[in-house]
Structure formats: structure tokens, C-alpha cells
Amino acid sequence: MAENPKIRTPIVCVMGHVDHGKTSLLDRIRGSSVVTSEVGAITQHIGATIVPIEAIRTMSGTMGKMPINIPGLLFIDTPGHHAFTTLRARGGALADMAILIVDINQGFQPQTIEALQILRNCKTPFVIAATKIDRIHGWRVNANESFLSSFAKQNERVRTDVEKKTYEVVGKLSELDFSADRFDRVSDFRRNLAIVPVSAHTGEGISDLLLIMIGLAQRYMGEALTLAVEGPGAGTVLEVKEERGLGTTLDVILYDGTLAIGDEIAVASQDDLLVTKVRSLLKPRPMKEILIEDKFERVKSVAAAAGIKVTAPNLEGVIAGSPFFVIRGNREEIEEKIRREMTEIHINLAEEGIVIKADTIGALEALCKELDGKGIGVMRAEVGAVSRHDLIETETIKNPVFRVLLSFNTPILPDAADMIRDPLYTQVKVFEGRVIYQLIDQYVGWRDEQKRLQEKLRFEHVVMPAKIRLLPDCVFRQSNPAVVGVRVLSGKLRSDVELIKLDGKKVGHLKTMQLRQETIREADAGLEVAISIEGATVGRQVNVGDDLFVNIPERHVKVLEKEMMKTLNPGTQEVLEEYTSMRRKTEPFWGK
């Protein structure tokens, strides 16, 4: 059967744990090197690559004359970090099939399991690519060969190791209620997941992976791929970009129908909704990634599925991540659909929290989801550049640890930048970043340090427990104020505290302390110091040999017992217990 132009290209979503090699695998397939241009080598936005059937035939020599009726595969490389669940769930829903990457040496990670749950919920057919087989100790590289051909050339110990690692993956999948086996042992791909061992680095097993994807698409997806290929186009805006000579353009994944020059399109914008007409369509060359493509081919129309660059008037305010529809006589219905989708952005706003700005809806959702997972509230979340108005709004947040703006991959406008640079401007803390988890880590680190400093300041004002004894032959003045030598028996003695006796009777106010004629603010257990006591006369309120306690206010006792106990040394804990026991003899619930 000849390739059928009426059948749309299947969309393949590549998913998996960060660092398990998703982008590297696609790089191998398309012969490019996107991974090196990604910030921190972790994909931060969805990229799209069309791989034509001829290229797949060339890579998979084993395909021979196999009848193929799909035009190729459109790969979507989803962001790596687990923060992107929502975006990936969208990718999962957008995709017809998926490849789930698992590092054969590291096995399943939390993100792998999360991706499996998304695929199960979306009922998306998928294949497991067990990557990095070339990292197995003793593996002999046979570049670009099929897995079975290369596997047969390995020594027995390596083959045993591969079998063992593959069955660890099978076992883990079984625990998660998936039946799976190595691809050459699967007879029914509807019932069993195929595991394809591959190496993105050497190309081994890539041909098997592509062959299975084509087989899955042909065998199980024929009808789904022919449905609305002639209807009006529908897609998702990946990126809004300023291109030299073209003005503002949209990178779009068209997942359904057709799109042509002159078509009226509707997309979401920051002001509400934009309806405009397509001026030109630019298609990336086959095997090139739309996010970094530099030479596009001008086309009059395009059919799903495709990654396409669209130019049209007034695209400046379009929101990346928004739905994209071609209008053909159903304008009101489509406008309503877009508005509904835009109000369903998965963001839980809190009454108290920080402010975030990001370049796309997906990134905004991802940031919110990740912050939510860490128990950090988000009070405002918007797509777009950081303005002076954003800073003024953020200033109104009462809690200083939430008076923060996170700016993800979006510019800070000059007037806002001037405010931030002003050395006297300290109202709002701004964090900028292009890798979501690093941005959040920066904020969490700063917040924890602020809390620690606040706590330190607060605890410095808490009256600490201490017990002292008046020393013999150390009465330097009897009164006004009395000056005596004391030993700190336990706890931490600070100046400017009230002193009481064992029976609870007040003695006076400890005004100052001296150690070797130097004024000090605090003295630890074991030290002998001279203290001045206002309101006391030696021989009346106090005598040599007396033991005295620091009088701790009731609310301070609550802080000490509930919040500071772990920070107190055993001696201080002991004197606190002795002091509270004394107070609770007459008032059992005092300080509780």
C-alpha cells in the first residue's frame, strides 16, 4: 500500500525521568544536538520534530518493503523535570503514542512512575525504551545495529547482565500492573508492553524502536489517524517568538485537521482572545527541531500532525501554551471553547503566597504544581514580562517571606529592572531563572534563611532559664544597687532580667553583668561573674549562699517548651523543669 496523504502523521510523546536521555534519543534520530543548547541540559519547553517515513526506512534497514501508510512520525520532546506533570499530561493527551524512557542501569525513578500514571490515565499506547545499554560494563559497541544483532555479539556475562536488568524493568512494571517483555518476545502488543533496549549514544536498537512505533501506529491507530485530517486545524501554541524579517510568530503543533494561508485563526491573548488571518506558514525541514530551526520552508498549507511556524497580524499578546483553532463558519463556538480552556488552567491560587510570572501557560502550571507540592502558596500567577506594576502589587503582601516574585524565562521590563537595581529598594525579592527546579530551590534556600534569621531574632528576646548562687566573700556593695559575685549553676544567664527565690519571692532586677571587669550580656553555666541587682539589699531580700532563678514570663515558657526545647542543652532543660515545677505547685496549668 502506498503512503496515504489523507492519513495524518501520528504524534509520539517522549517521556521519562530527568537525565534518562530523552532529548539525546531524539538527537540520535534526527542527527542534531539540541541537548547542548538546553539550559542545564534539561528540556524546558516542548519541542517538535517531524521524522519522515523515508528517514525511518533508511534507519531501519529491516523494514524492507513493509507496506506503510503513514507519512512519518511527529516527535514531541517533553520537559524533563517532574515539575512538568501538567504539561506532560497535556503532552500525553496530545499524543497518539508515547515512548517512555528508562535508564536500564538506574531503573525506575519517581518521574518514571508518574509518566506511567499519565499514560494509563490518557489510555495512550506506549513502548519502553531501556536506554544507555552502552553503559553496561563490558558492552561492545556495534554502532547503529539492531539490538538483537548487537546483543548476539556480546560475551555471555554482558548478555546475562542485560537480561537481568531487563527483567528488573519487567518486574517493576508488573508491580504497577503492566504486563511487559522484551520486544522480540511480545506477540500481542495490545496486551503486553514492549521493552526495547537502546543506546542514543551509539544508535544501537534505534531501528527496532522506530519499527515498533510504526507497527503500533499502523496496526492499532488507522481509524484515529484518518478522522478529521480534512477538517479545520486545531493545535497548541508552543512558543511566541520575535523573528527577524517576520515579526512576531507562533510555533504551533497542529494535531488535527488542516491549516492554510488566508485561514482565519483564533488563539488566546493576554487581553482576551485574538482572531487574525494567517499570512504565511513556515515548516521546519524534516528531522529538524522547531525550537532551534534556522531555515524554514514556506508552504501554502499543512495537514496534521505537524510542527509549523505561523505568521499573522497582531500576534504580540498571544499566550504560549494556549489552544489554536482554525475558524470555518463556527466562530462563536470556537471562541467559547478557547475561553473555557483558558479558564481551566490548572493553577490553585492561595490567599497567602508568592507571585510568579512565566513565559508560557505550561511553565506557569508547572511552577504552581511544584510549589504546591512543597507547600508554598501562589497568590498571583501570570504569563508575561515582569513590570513595575507587578512589583508594586507584590509589595502589598504582608508576610515578608511571601513578598517575592519568581520570574521564569520571561524578561524584566526596564522600569521594573531599574527598581530592582536601586540599592535602597528592598521591598520585593525577585528570583530569575530558566530551570524551574533551580528557581524554586533558590527561593526555598532564601526563605529558610529568612525564617532562621527571624527565629534567631525572636529567640534572642526570649528570657532564658538560669539558676545562680551568691558566692561567699563576694559582696561588693550591699544596695542601690547591690553588687555581688555569683556562680551560674545551670542555664544561660542574661542581663536585664528579674530574679526570684526558690519559694517564688521576688528579689530584684539583674541590671548588668561583668566578667574580669568587662561588661557582658550573657554568661553560660560554670562561669563566675559580678552582677548588679536593683531593688535588693544583701542581708534582707538576699543572702550569701542563696540560690536564685531567673523569673521567666509565662508566654516565654510556652515558647521555650513548645518551640525551643530541642535547641536547649540538658542543663538548661533541667533548670527550666525545676522552675516550671516550682510555679505549677500553686498553678498546675501555668505556662501550658
Q: Hey, what CATH class is 11-226 in?
A: alpha beta
Say yes or no: do domains 234-342 and 354-459 share a fold. no
CA distance 321 to 308: 14
pLDDT for residue 89: 41
- pLDDT of residue 436 exceeding 50: yes
Q: Could you tell me the residue ranges of all domains in the chain?
A: 11-226, 234-342, 354-459, 466-584
Query: Among the listed ranges 22-36, 346-360, 440-454, 505-519, which one has the minimum average pLDDT value?
Result: 22-36
- In this predicted structure, the answer to whether residue 263 has a pLDDT above a threshold of 90 is yes
- For the chain, the average pLDDT equals 82
Most confident of 110-119, 198-207, 347-356: 198-207
Residue 46 banded pLDDT, cuts 50, 70, 90: very low
Distances (CA, A) of 222 to 12, 55, 72, 208, 337: 15, 21, 13, 21, 28
pLDDT score of 588: 85
Q: Regarding beta strands 264-269 and 258-260, do their DSSP bridges make them parallel or antiparallel, or are they unpaired?
A: unpaired
Smallest Cα–Cα separation from 366: which of 346, 342, 386?
346
Inform me whether the pLDDT recorded for 2 exceeds 90.
no
pLDDT at residue 119 greater than cutoff 90: no
Q: How far apart are the first and last CA of the chain?
A: 83
Q: 126: left (phi > 0), else alpha (psi -120 to 50), else beta?
A: beta
CATH no. of 466-584: 2.40.30.10
The whole-angstrom separation of Cα 34 and Cα 291 is 9
Q: What is the per-residue pLDDT for 64?
A: 54
| CATH superfamily of the 354-459 domain | Translation initiation factor IF- 2, domain 3 (3.40.50.10050)
pTM, two decimal places? 0.57
- The topology under which CATH files domain 234-342 is Elongation Factor Tu (Ef-tu); domain 3 (2.40.30)
Residue 50 confidence class, pLDDT cut points 50, 70, 90: confident
Per-residue confidence band for 45, with pLDDT thresholds at 50, 70 and 90: very low
User: Is 90 exceeded by the pLDDT of residue 406?
Assistant: yes
Written as one letter, the residue type at 217 is: A
Q: From the CB of residue 260, how many other CB atoms can be counted at a distance below 10 Å? A: 14
Please check the confidence at residue 88 and state whether its pLDDT lies above 80. Answer: no
Enclosing H/E stretch for 169: helix 156-175
d(CA 431, CA 357): 10
